[in-house]
């Protein structure tokens, strides 16, 4: 489904990604875990074709993200760390606008908008202006725009960043409900988020993948003892 080969990314003399290679199969829920500045956001922007790699290749469902960027974007729902919202629009108008941008068939837009409003628990604020919503509701609106075209792949960059504990739990529950029949990548530095959502973990340090395994395997050391994700992360990211 997703394949990267020897990805490198330079910003001037700074190398943000260093030979990153991995494969993600259809239906996997994968967590990208790393400290701030490890390269998670850069990697996600390359996967979504918003940023070109300096070298290497990315294919999604057999399509090259550079040569077939429009086709790739149709398969992906992307929530960047700062959701691309228009604060002066109402929630319903914004979700409808996102549907039009993402080529949802005109005859089906109204039904799809209402479906997504329900799916993201936005019905009761659908008439409100985005600027007056709480950060948690704005994150839900960001997720709504990401899934309005029923993408096969959902890529979420720090989806609970800046939320209070109640908002975090509600957004996590929403993400769990969206996992069915989708490939999901979630980037975060919050360990509990990975434990609750992901099946597989890629730990990124200084632009390199230092661990790539099932979550259950990472939590079991060489002697068979259980260990916490925090212990694994601290050991590998120092």
Is residue 125 a contact partner of residue 133, using CB atoms and an 8 Å limit?
Answer: yes
pLDDT-based confidence at 224, cuts 50/70/90? low
Q: How much is the mean pLDDT over the chain?
A: 91
Alpha carbon distance 232, 48 (integer Å): 28
Does this model's pTM top 0.85? My answer is yes
Mind listing the pLDDT tens digit for each residue in 181-193? 789 999 987 888 8
pLDDT value, residue 114? 96
Alpha carbon distance 195, 98 (integer Å): 31
Alpha carbon distance 120, 143 (integer Å): 7
pLDDT-based confidence at 167, cuts 50/70/90? confident
Residue with tokens 């988020």: 193
CATH number of this structure's domain 2-83+153-237: 3.40.50.300
Identify which has the larger pLDDT, 85 or 179: 85
Give percent above pLDDT 70 in the chain: 98
Helix (H, G, I), strand (E, B) or coil at 230: helix
Mind listing the pLDDT tens digit for each residue in 52-85? 999 999 999 989 998 898 888 888 999 998 888 9
Handedness of CA 45, 199, 236, 4 (dihedral sign): negative
- 115-122: average pLDDT: 93
Domain parsing of the chain, residue ranges = 2-83+153-237
pLDDT value, residue 223? 65
């Amino acid at each position: 489904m997703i394949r990267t080969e020897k990805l490198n990314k330079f910003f001037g003399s700074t190398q943000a990604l260093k030979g990153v290679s991995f494969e993600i199969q259809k239906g996997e829920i994968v967590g990208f875990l790393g400290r701030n500045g490890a390269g998670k956001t850069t990697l996600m922007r390359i996967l979504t074709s918003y940023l070109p790699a300096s070298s290497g290749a990315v294919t999604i469902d057999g399509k090259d993200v550079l040569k077939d960027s429009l086709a790739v974007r149709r398969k992906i729902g992307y929530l960047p760390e700062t959701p691309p919202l228009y604060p002066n629009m109402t929630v319903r108008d914004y979700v409808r606008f996102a549907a039009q941008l993402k080529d949802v068939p005109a005859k089906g837009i109204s039904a799809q908008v209402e479906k997504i409003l329900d799916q993201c628990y936005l019905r009761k604020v659908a008439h409100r202006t985005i600027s007056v919503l709480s950060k948690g509701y704005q994150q839900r609106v960001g997720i709504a725009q990401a899934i309005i075209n029923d993408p096969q792949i959902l890529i979420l960059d720090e989806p609970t960043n800046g939320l209070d504990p109640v908002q975090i739990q509600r957004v996590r529950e929403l993400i769990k409900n969206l996992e069915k029949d989708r490939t999901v990548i979630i980037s975060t530095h919050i360990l509990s988020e990975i434990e609750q959502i992901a099946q597989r973990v890629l730990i990124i340090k200084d632009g390199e993948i230092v661990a790539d395994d099932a979550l259950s395997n990472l939590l079991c050391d060489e002697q068979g003892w259980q260990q916490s994700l925090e212990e694994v992360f601290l050991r590998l990211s120092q």
